[in-house]
Structure 1
Amino acid sequence: MRNIRVIDAMKDERIQCYSIMLSMDVNTYIELIDKAYKNNGGIEGQRIPLTNKSAIRIRDNMKKDILEGTILPPLVIGCTLNENDMKLTKDIFDSYNFNDINNESAVRIVNDILAQNELSIIDGMQRTTALKEILDNNLLENYKLRIELWVTNKANNLIYRMLVLNTGQISWGLKKQLEVVFIHIKKELQNKIDGIELIESNDGTRSNRPMKYQVSHFVELYLSFSTRKCDVNLSEKVTEGFAKQDIIEESYNQQHLDYFIDIVDKLVKLDTLLNKENGLDRRLFGDQNARIGFIVSMATYIFGRPSKKYDAERVFEKFNYINTNLDRFIEKINEMSEAEIVEFCQFDWLKECTENLVKKELPEYYKKAFDILIEEDFDVENMNECWYH
């Protein structure tokens, strides 16, 4: 068993995580996080060791301080447990007494967690780099560290902690934070929506058919879903601050993510029906403007306007309404013949209604069209009732 002491343990009730404060020597820490460090922290999107002149100078000063005996702030690591191990952790640390610093059960489970799970460096990549550079020259012995271990059974809780811990440090723009959040969301989308393919913009392929989409487009959809806005201008500081708060706030919320995935699932199903393979002259949801309009319309009904926030019970009721009626709407189209789909969609009217609109007006146009669909309880004779508004 490694020379690790459990100093304290606390439960984060908000995101149902355990924060376990540990003490260990630097060699034990470096051994534990070696794989995570080589993988840029073990959380995709984590800031890599900085190499600009200013960062190197700061790190050199840090190394000098460490060699002179300074105490570093706690480094933060984390891991995601399976349900069984999470239950064992809960059983021990819900009743943990911080006065019992040598609690054998606590020490044993911490050692098991560290030995059996992939670790992530949530906060401390630059300090870890300084420590490794010192050890590479065999200059550090018997140096103790305090380590905060975050234990959870949901990966997005670790992402939430990372985003919060990085707020106010070397600035991460909203785009960077979205990329980090969305890596987790991308995995959930691919796990829960059969056949969906999310491609990177630099892989040379095009998203020109249903079920295949650009990752960047779905990042935009998530931003639109979270802010209930069709056009979020990231260059506007007020808007960026508002969106940033929403994204960080919602990134840990599994229910919010489940709602997004369910609505995307409906969007993808509609995309497979409303395209050229069914005799139509266009693929409706091949257009990002239509996707944004659809997402914002559904999100606004579920959560309320951007300036308004419904309570969880009301959100749940409204989501169930949208979810049930979208299923019914999809089934209705699915039962149509090719000719009936063409007649129902009325894309000639859609073309006429949009031909004089500039690009930035299109998402809002589609939002209003799908707002009408909701107002009509998803029961329209044809889509011209929505297009002609």
Structure 2
Amino acid sequence: MSLNILGYTKDCRTETNVVYAEIEISEYLEFIGEDFDRFEIQRKRQDPKKYTRLKEDIKKGALLPGITLAINPGKVDEFVSEVENRETDKLIERLNKSSDIYILDGLQRSYIIKDLKDDKVEFNPDQKLLLEIWFENKIEHLIYRLIVLNSGQKPMSMRHQVELLFTTLKTEIENEIPNLNIYVEKDGQIRSQSMKFSFDRIVNAYYSFLTKSPEVKRDNLIVKKLNEDDILSSNEEELNANYNSFINCLKKYCELDVNLFKFYSKDPQNAGLKNWLADENTLKGFFSIAGRYSTDEKKASRLHSALDKLLASSKDATIDPLQLKVFMDLKAGIDSKKYNVGNETRRLIMDGFREFFIDEGDTPFDECWINAAR
């Protein structure tokens, strides 16, 4: 393969090793893998018509803007020696064999190159593609890199930045929470067991946790701007603390999912409720209030005390620990002529858990749902 290392540098803010390289455009897809969009899970392919001019320019041999790649953080240590010692030949050999390369920026360009390859276009053998490859194994640095630094470089919504972050951290999260399965909805998997959540919904849960709101507007760059600006102005330590708080809540959420999946699976009439915690509205509602409580030490203590009590009561439970029949009745009573049912459902879930957290889990859930209802 024609991969050529052009230079080495470091991001002085995070001490991240960065390598600049070039490769013949005809070999780029072989280098990153034909399934290069496996990590860009939520990003939709843009209308190819918007890139007609660029496609024609590439056919004529145009030099594209560089594409930014990153090595899977769990595999970065395997490259440290070659990068630090600048053992170029060994590094090239290892990179050429690697299947752990992510696209951080350049997906649409990669799609165009694939289209041209599928069309049997013969690229100019002198036509090169510039690559910027990041070698970072610390989660807090990736958070800073993907959420903070990207915010000032391109009109990228915070939702998209959180999405990119989880694209990179999916494996790390699954390693931190044994038996957690984060799957891609396009894989067509069916939730047949507990602790199985779609990638998209986990991303939305973290976004709700950060913004402290159950409302996620994917394509609106203005909505919740004040909340997002506050988060984007956070320093690395604050972002890392938020991430760790989210993971701690997610761990208990997964434990609760195991208990409730078991409980509701026993009841044929309510078997559908076994997946209630995997529902998008539930995840958004729960993690938005969890995010609010996690910012204050005393509130965080009440949050985790309440969750611990709920975990204890839901293990081998004989009665519904969440009183979801009451919740479902209240949800059914939402007047669709007055309210958006989805918004009201998320608000009901958020406020119901808030009532539960306020009293450190001592208030029965049927009362929590009733108190939370309009």
TM-score by length of 2: 0.67
Equivalent pairs: percent with the same residue?
Answer: 18
Counterpart for residue 9 of structure 2: 9
Match of 2:276 among 272, 275, 286: 286
Contact map agreement 1:329 1:378 (CA 8 A) in 2:
yes
- Distance in 2 between residues matched to 1:41 and 1:352, nearest whole Å: 42
> Which deviations, in whole Å up to 9, do the C-alpha atoms of 1:221-269 show, x marking residues without a partner?
233223211223456552165687689899x966544433432332232
**Superposition deviation, residue 322 in structure 1:** 3.8
- Please list, as runs of the form range in 1=range in 2, the aligned pairs for 1:292-303 lying within 5 A after superposition: 292-303=284-295
> Which deviations, in whole Å up to 9, do the C-alpha atoms of 1:7-36 show, x marking residues without a partner?
34122534x5222234x5x44x75465241
Counterpart for residue 276 of structure 1: 264
Which structure has the greater CA radius of gyration? 1
Contact map agreement 1:228 1:296 (CA 8 A) in 2:
yes
- Asked whether 1:374 is paired with 2:366, we answer no
Counterpart for residue 101 of structure 1: none
Aligned-partner SS, 1:238: coil
Q: 1:161 to 1:145 in 2, by over 3 A?
A: same
- Asked whether 1:265 is paired with 2:261, we answer no
> Which deviations, in whole Å up to 9, do the C-alpha atoms of 1:194-226 show, x marking residues without a partner?
444556556666548744555544443233223
Counterpart for residue 55 of structure 1: 51
Amino acid corresponding to residue 255 of structure 2 in structure 1: K
TM-score by length of 1: 0.65
> Which deviations, in whole Å up to 9, do the C-alpha atoms of 1:167-220 show, x marking residues without a partner?
977x87777666655545554554444444556556666548744555544443
- Distance in 2 between residues matched to 1:200 and 1:280, nearest whole Å: 28
Aligned-partner SS, 2:213: coil
Q: 1:106 to 1:40 in 2, by over 3 A?
A: same
Name the Cα RMSD after superposition: 5.0
**Superposition deviation, residue 300 in structure 1:** 0.9
- Asked whether 1:140 is paired with 2:125, we answer yes
Contact map agreement 2:66 2:130 (CA 8 A) in 1:
yes
Q: 1:146 to 1:164 in 2, by over 3 A?
A: same
Contact map agreement 2:3 2:92 (CA 8 A) in 1:
no
**Superposition deviation, residue 140 in structure 1:** 3.5
Contact map agreement 1:178 1:247 (CA 8 A) in 2:
no
Contact map agreement 2:159 2:207 (CA 8 A) in 1:
no
- Asked whether 1:80 is paired with 2:72, we answer yes
- Distance in 2 between residues matched to 1:258 and 1:370, nearest whole Å: 21
Counterpart for residue 338 of structure 2: none
Counterpart for residue 215 of structure 2: 231
Counterpart for residue 111 of structure 1: 92
Contact map agreement 2:40 2:164 (CA 8 A) in 1:
yes
Q: 1:386 to 1:52 in 2, by over 3 A?
A: closer
> Which deviations, in whole Å up to 9, do the C-alpha atoms of 1:326-345 show, x marking residues without a partner?
23441244376x1xx44x65
Aligned-partner SS, 1:56: helix
- Distance in 2 between residues matched to 1:126 and 1:351, nearest whole Å: 43
Aligned-partner SS, 2:133: strand
**Superposition deviation, residue 374 in structure 1:** 2.1
Question: 5+ unaligned residues in a row in structure 2: which ranges?
Answer: 336-340
Q: 1:243 to 1:207 in 2, by over 3 A?
A: farther
- Asked whether 1:38 is paired with 2:12, we answer no
Contact map agreement 1:33 1:120 (CA 8 A) in 2:
no
